[in-house]
Amino acid sequence: MHGHRSRAYSHTVKLSELRPGQKARIIAVRGGRGFRERFSGMGLHIGSEMEVLHSTGSNGMILIRTGDTRLMIGHGMAHKIFLRLE
């Protein structure tokens, strides 16, 4: 069972680590109450699928698509969103 668990987490990445064209599913969010409220207020939820459309660099903005919605996410916020690669 331990081996299975290790494999499951081997494809876990932060949104800030994805490159344009990569698709992933949100599996966790790290942050306080205000961050979680902002996250859900943007229409993002655990289980949501997303695709990175554009990234302006390691400290810039990341343009994502989730469903029919496009959002710009700052690098600080993207660093707190954990995903499983699709």
CATH number assigned to the domain comprising residue 52 = 2.30.30.90
Per-residue pLDDT band at 5 (split at 50, 70, 90): very low
Boundaries of domain holding 74: 2-85
Q: Report how far apart, in Å, the C-alpha atoms of 28 and of each of 8, 31, 67, 69 are.
A: 14, 10, 18, 20
Predicted structure pTM score: 0.82
Give CA–CA dist 23/35, Å, rounded.
23
Q: 45 and 26 in contact (C-beta within 8 Å)?
A: yes
**Confidence band, pLDDT 50/70/90 cuts, at residue 10:** low
pLDDT on residue 63 = 96
> What digits encode the pLDDT tens for the residues 52-68?
999 987 778 999 999 99
pLDDT (0 to 100) of residue 69:
94
Number of domains in the chain: 1
